[in-house]
Structure 1
Amino acid sequence: MQETLTNFYSHHLGHDVKILTFGTHGQPLVIFPTTLGSYYEAKDRGMVESLRWFIERGFVQVFCPDSINDASWYGDIHPKFRVLRHIQYDKFLTEEFVPQIRNNTPSGRIACCGISFGGFSASNFAFRHPEMVSHLFCLSGAFDIKSFMHGYYDDNVYFNNPVDFMPNADHGDLWNMKIILGTSNWDICLDGNLKFSEILRKKNIPHWLDVRGDIEHDWPLWLEMLPHYVSML
């Protein structure tokens, strides 16, 4: 399983973004880390190893970009600038990084996966840019960032908060995306997933709400989920 570390310079962010890549070809699968997780988290936690069979056979090529959550949502700055910093990260993804990998597949679209708060990163990207995404896997995902805003709200918050903008979204590709919301009975994000599934249901957007048994919001749950979801590619 080939592993490559890249320092990808982003003009939008003004610095390098470290990206770990596993495999050489196949459906591009971007894995976003948890809250303050880094580009090596999916490898260190066994997530990449759980996908070895798919990577070695060229079914998927896995990309693990670093996050900037410590400088955006968790930064010691005014909420207005937290969301503006995230918008810069979104531009890094849409204008710099994803265009480099999306043509690895005939559809020109990537699959993306987010774990816990990474579920926000993945879902916000996918739902804002559905023309770039074929599959979305949210593992105990979060979908609401208002708790980081401390009462501040503007259009930038609205358009980067899936629970707010999705009820009014009308991009045709949203109905073509394969969406899985994975959670469990003991998941601290269960309620958020149930509510977000209802938003999608009311819009008749096809998706699978996968509620697993009595297992907590932690890596054993996610290591069980992701190989199953990837097998459905």
Structure 2
Amino acid sequence: MKEEYFKWHSPNLNREIEMLVFGHAGYPVIVFPTSMGSYHENKDMGLIDSAKWYLEQGLIQIFCPDSIDKDSFYNKNIYPINRIENHVRYDKMICHEIVEKVKNNTSSGRVALAGCSFGGYHAANFAFRHPGYVSHLFSMSGAFNIKSFMDGFHDDDVFYNSPEDYLHGLNDPELWKMDIVLGTIGIFVLMQI
């Protein structure tokens, strides 16, 4: 199974970012790490090995980018406005530096997104904010409300990165073309779009 390591200076984040890519061809699947996790977490936890056959057959290619959770939502040493600003830069990095480059690996011009825990948040939030880029979403125990990370601070960036807030009434027809799987543990969440 092919494995590649990438490291580059992200103009959106103004810092180095790292990513592992598994497989030689196939449908692009971006898998986010869990809360404050790293780009190698999904490999270390055995997730990549569980998809080995699909990777070796060239059916999928898995992209595992780093997170910046320690510099955004989980960083209580900076102001909430800086937390959300850092997250917005991360969203732009995912969009412009990864998704826009790999989406054309398939005829649909879209990607699949997946993640557990806060990685589930990143997958769902990106998919709901950019449905034209996403064909499939798998969010396992993801958060859909980021207000608890904002210490009472609220602005448009907080609103538009908290799916519980902005999904109500969202009328983007691309959203209805997406296959969505939301998994939870012990709590059922009903979201009306």
Structure with a larger share of its residues in helix: 1
Amino acid at match of 1:65: P
Amino acid at match of 1:103: N
- Separation (CA, whole Å) in 2 of partners of 1:6 and 1:136: 24
- Separation (CA, whole Å) in 2 of partners of 1:85 and 1:168: 27
Shift of 1:139: 1.3
Instruction: Specify the alignment match of 1:71 in structure 2.
Output: 71
- Separation (CA, whole Å) in 2 of partners of 1:71 and 1:37: 12
Superposition CA RMSD, Å: 1.0
**Matched position secondary structure for 2:64:** strand
**Matched position secondary structure for 1:184:** coil
Amino acid at match of 2:163: P
Amino acid at match of 1:153: H
Matching of residues 72-91 of structure 1 within 5 Å: 72-75=72-75, 76-91=77-92
Q: Deviations over 1:28-62 (max 9, x none)?
A: 00000110110000000001111101111111100
TM-score (norm 2): 0.96
Instruction: Specify the alignment match of 2:2 in structure 1.
Output: 2
Instruction: Specify the alignment match of 2:152 in structure 1.
Output: 151
Tell me, yes or no, if structure 1 residue 17 matches structure 2 residue 17. Answer: yes
Identity score, percent: 46
Amino acid at match of 1:46: G
Tell me, yes or no, if structure 1 residue 123 matches structure 2 residue 124. Answer: yes
Q: Deviations over 1:91-122 (max 9, x none)?
A: 11112221111100000000000111111111
Tell me, yes or no, if structure 1 residue 96 matches structure 2 residue 107. Answer: no
Count the aligned residue pairs.
192
Amino acid at match of 1:148: F
Shift of 1:170: 1.3
Q: Kindly report structure 1 stretches of 4+ aligned residues shifted beyond 3 Å.
A: none
Q: Deviations over 1:133-170 (max 9, x none)?
A: 00000112211111101111111100010111011311
TM-score (norm 1): 0.80
Amino acid at match of 1:83: I
Shift of 1:16: 1.9
Instruction: Specify the alignment match of 2:32 in structure 1.
Output: 32
Amino acid at match of 2:103: R
**Matched position secondary structure for 1:39:** coil
**Matched position secondary structure for 1:55:** helix
Gaps of 5+ in 2: none
- Separation (CA, whole Å) in 1 of partners of 2:111 and 2:69: 22
Q: Higher relative contact order at CA 8 Å, sep ≥6: structure 1 or structure 2? A: 2
- Separation (CA, whole Å) in 2 of partners of 1:175 and 1:29: 19
